[in-house]
Amino acid sequence: MVAFIILGTLCVPLAVMKVRVLSPQRRKFVGFSAWKDPAYNFYVLGNFIAFMGAWTPFYYVGLYALDLGVTLADTAFYILCVITAGSVFGRLGPNYLSARIGMYNVLLPCTILTGILAFCFIRTRSLWSIILTGVLYGVVSGALVSIAPTICLQISPNRALIGTRMGMAFATVSIGVLIGTPIAGNLLDAHWFRLLLPSLGPVLLSEHSS
């Protein structure tokens, strides 16, 4: 279902968009010379690590709230909707700001805040604290998603390499996205939330086992 939604929404831009400036040479499918560029390697590595963990709260925040006992199974899903709503603003506002103060000056603090807010979930004990943390997490992680690809434009030596380098970068980063949440899920299966909630761990673990 999601694939058909994506297909339908992409049909519009594919039908109306056009290339503003054509590249003077044919674009390569793969450019191995990019891996000799230290800036490009650090860019790909940083995105790989960031995106490997960025989606974990989206997947498990509802389950976390359920185990805290601050919401019901029928309403836990809406916590994800709240975080996603914050992500919408995160993909618009920071981009507007980055055009004025620079993409790096916005992306770096938003990436750091994404990591900090992920740890802040550990101290949330009420529904409203989870929602507030979730909204803020959605905003800063939304900036990470929307601004990170544009950095590739600045570190590419010419226009002809932008598409190739971006495709190579996010083909690599997609592996991090693919493995990040399953790793978190395996950790959750092994330890549940008792590592995050020492005082509630035995109770939550017993409920999970039952």
Distance CA 102, CA 95 (A): 9
Fill in the amino acid letter for 80: L
Q: Which of 203, 184, 152 is nearest to 54 (CA)?
A: 184
Q: Could you read off the pLDDT of 101-152 as tens digits, one per residue? A: 888 888 888 889 998 998 888 888 888 888 899 899 988 888 888 888 888 8
What percentage of the chain reaches a pLDDT higher than 90? 6
Token digits for 55? Answer: 């989606």
Tens of pLDDT, residues 52-68 = 888 888 888 888 888 78
| pLDDT higher than threshold 70 for residue 23 | no
Average pLDDT value for residue range 14-38: 75
b/e map of 76-85 (b: 16 or more CB within 10 Å)? beebbebbee
Q: Are the C-beta atoms of residues 113 and 86 closer than 8 Å to each other? A: no
- pTM here? 0.77
Q: Are 83 and 133 in contact (CB under 8 A)?
A: no
Question: What is the model's pLDDT at position 199?
Answer: 46
Residue 113 C-alpha from the chain's centroid:
12
Per-residue tokens: 12: 């519009």
Query: Mean of the pLDDT values across residues 198-209?
Result: 44
Classify 24 as helix, strand or coil.
Answer: coil
Q: How confident is the model at residue 3 (pLDDT cuts 50, 70, 90)?
A: confident
Q: Is residue 25 over pLDDT 70?
A: no
Determine the pLDDT at residue 116: 92
Asked whether 86 and 102 are in contact (CB, 8 A), the reply is no
Q: What domains lie within the chain, and their CATH numbers? A: 40-209 (1.20.1250.20)
How far apart CA 93 and CA 100 sit, in angstroms, is 12
Mean pLDDT across the chain, nearest whole number?
Answer: 81
Query: Which one has a higher pLDDT value, 31 or 121?
Result: 121
pLDDT at residue 206, as a whole number: 45
